[in-house]
Amino acid sequence: MHVFFDREGRPWTHATELNLATFRNILASESSPQTGRPLRRSTINHKLGVIGQCYRFAQRRGWIESLPFELEGARVPYTLRLVQPKEELELRPRREVRRFVRSFRAWRDQLMAETMWLTGMRCAEVCSLP
């Protein structure tokens, strides 16, 4: 973010919502210097959240008078966040699931696998059942 404001010739203390949206768009269009791949939307949203927390901190310290955008709690508004596309859930055929469940030797493990398949519970949730 600091590099962005240096490039724009604007101090970070005078940021606007438009500046942050521009920064978001730059992140979405550039590749990661470490991997060379585009940044994931969740990574960009996380970075925007950290920026929002930094501005909240700066306001509490008196370094800035007001926030450059409206914050809900310490979160960047949804208008700035990138929308996460819903992934299609791929369900395996029932016979493959049955074969997988029966592949466990202990009845307890079979029951846990069956419970996770039928309810959608996570492994940790099933393990915590009495």
Same domain, 65 and 103: no
Question: H or E stretch including 127?
Answer: helix 123-127
Q: Which two tokens stand for residue 84?
A: 């996460």
Domain that holds residue 116: 94-127
Residues 75, 119 within the same domain: no
pTM beyond cutoff 0.75: no
pLDDT of res. 73: 44
Are 67 and 103 members of one domain?
no
- The answer to whether the CB of 70 falls within 8 A of the CB of 79 is no
Q: What's the confidence (pLDDT) of residue 76?
A: 54
pLDDT reported for residue 105: 93
